[in-house]
Amino acid sequence: MKYVYGGLAAAVLISLTGMASAEEFVNSETDPRAIVVRDAEIARLKAEEAKGSEQAAEAPSKPMSAKERRAARIEARKAKAEEVAAARQAAKAGGMKPQAAAATADAKVQEPTATASVARSEDKAEAKPVAAPAGVEGIKAIVARHAAANGVPFSLADAIIRVESRYNPRAAHAGNYGLMQIRHQTARGMGYSGGAGGLLDAETNARYGMKYLAEAYRMAGGDTCRTVMKYQSGHMATRLSGANRTYCAKVRTITARN
């Protein structure tokens, strides 16, 4: 009898253990606390997966191509040019004299903003042809229209374009572009918003180049050599250099012939 009771007790204990396990399983699926724990674990796994994706995205990129490097250099030059303009404006706003303002800006970035740099030597100016090539009548009409619109004598505009580019709208040298060899930053100061390549269009170049020449002409009081000086060396120039005198002599020779 003792053994029979012992066997019954063991059977009851086993049954109770099984019921407890079943109840625990049910509770793990329905208990709010268990659900919260499970959701937190899922969220943690998702966060780790997202972090792995970010690390993969931040992996070192492949080296820049030659085209990308050229684009970066162009952007750097544009930034330098904009820095020059900003420095000039800041210097003028601070009450500096024109000469000092120009010197301050040039000291920040060693790149002139005038259309034709003083760096052009007299020998180079002497060697440049002054006769306009044949077949430029259409371009001359464009020049005449913009010269008249800006109050610039056509004879002066014509002579300057002959010296600068010989009426070659595709001319480009040392950062100067097109018919009037205007710099990109200078054109932007006159209201141009396109890229440097757009200045190789005759209509565009004449529009903004003539605005710059017109300002030089007015600031010089209509004097030919002083107009040339301000066009070649920048509106802030006040003293004729040797290169300015050579340029002016060429302009006067051309206007006298015409």
For the segment 122-130, the average pLDDT, to the nearest whole number, is 42
**How far apart, in whole angstroms, are the C-alpha atoms of residue 91 and residue 84?**
11
Amino acid type, 147:
A
Which residues does 210 contact at the CB level (< 8 Å), separation at least 6? 143, 146, 147, 149, 150, 152, 157, 180
Can you give the pLDDT at residue 159? Answer: 98
pTM over 0.95: no
Q: What is the 3-state secondary structure (H, E, C) of 30-72?
A: HCHHHHHHHHHHHHHHHHHHHHHHHHHHCCCCCCCCHHHHHHH
**How far apart, in whole angstroms, are the C-alpha atoms of residue 203 and residue 169?**
9
pLDDT tens digits for 79-104? Answer: 666 666 665 665 555 454 445 445 54
pLDDT tens digits for 6-29? Answer: 454 455 444 444 444 444 443 444
Can you give the pLDDT at residue 42? Answer: 62
Please report where in the chains the tokens 């109840």 appear, as a residue: 23
**How far apart, in whole angstroms, are the C-alpha atoms of residue 136 and residue 142?**
10
pLDDT tens digits for 164-217? Answer: 999 999 999 999 999 999 999 999 999 999 999 999 999 999 999 999 999 999
Least confidently predicted of 114-118, 181-185, 216-220: 114-118
On the question of pLDDT at 161 being above 70, the answer is yes
